[in-house]
Structure 1
Amino acid sequence: MIVKENICDSCVCRFLQNLEQGTEIRIAIKNTDDFFEKENFFLVCFDPKNCCVTAKRDDGGNIVIFDCRAIAGVQVVNS
């Protein structure tokens, strides 16, 4: 029997996978000083097959895609 490893097994990936669609979040990227402090995103979806997090900027603008394995931290924004 072959057991397939879960490639999206970081704590951030697991956290994002369990958030409800439409949750407002801020994201910190690994190995950078970037924490999108002035940029909030709304979670659109999480794809556990490829670890992609799809989010929409809170200004109604662009859709952005993050690899959850490259995210150092997530903050849920209480509006």
Structure 2
Amino acid sequence: MQSPLFDQILEITHIEPLANENNELEITKRITEDGKELYFILNMSNDKRKLPDKFSAYQDLLTGKIASQTLKAWDVEILNK
């Protein structure tokens, strides 16, 4: 749960979350010099976590396969479209 002050800062700066679902995953976005968007998704828990629907058609650069629907405990995926 975010504080009202934090919500206000996000609104003023027009910052949007990388995933709107409450998924308890750590999601970081990086943009390469050639404009490719990479998403680093980490499950920093001992439990399985569902990948946000937004990433269902993305490719996992570590495996070359489509992103899995669920990340196992302590799993990592690096995704791009």
- Report the TM-score, using the length of structure 1 for normalisation: 0.29
Greater RCO structure (CA 8 Å; 6+ sep): 1
More strand by share: 1
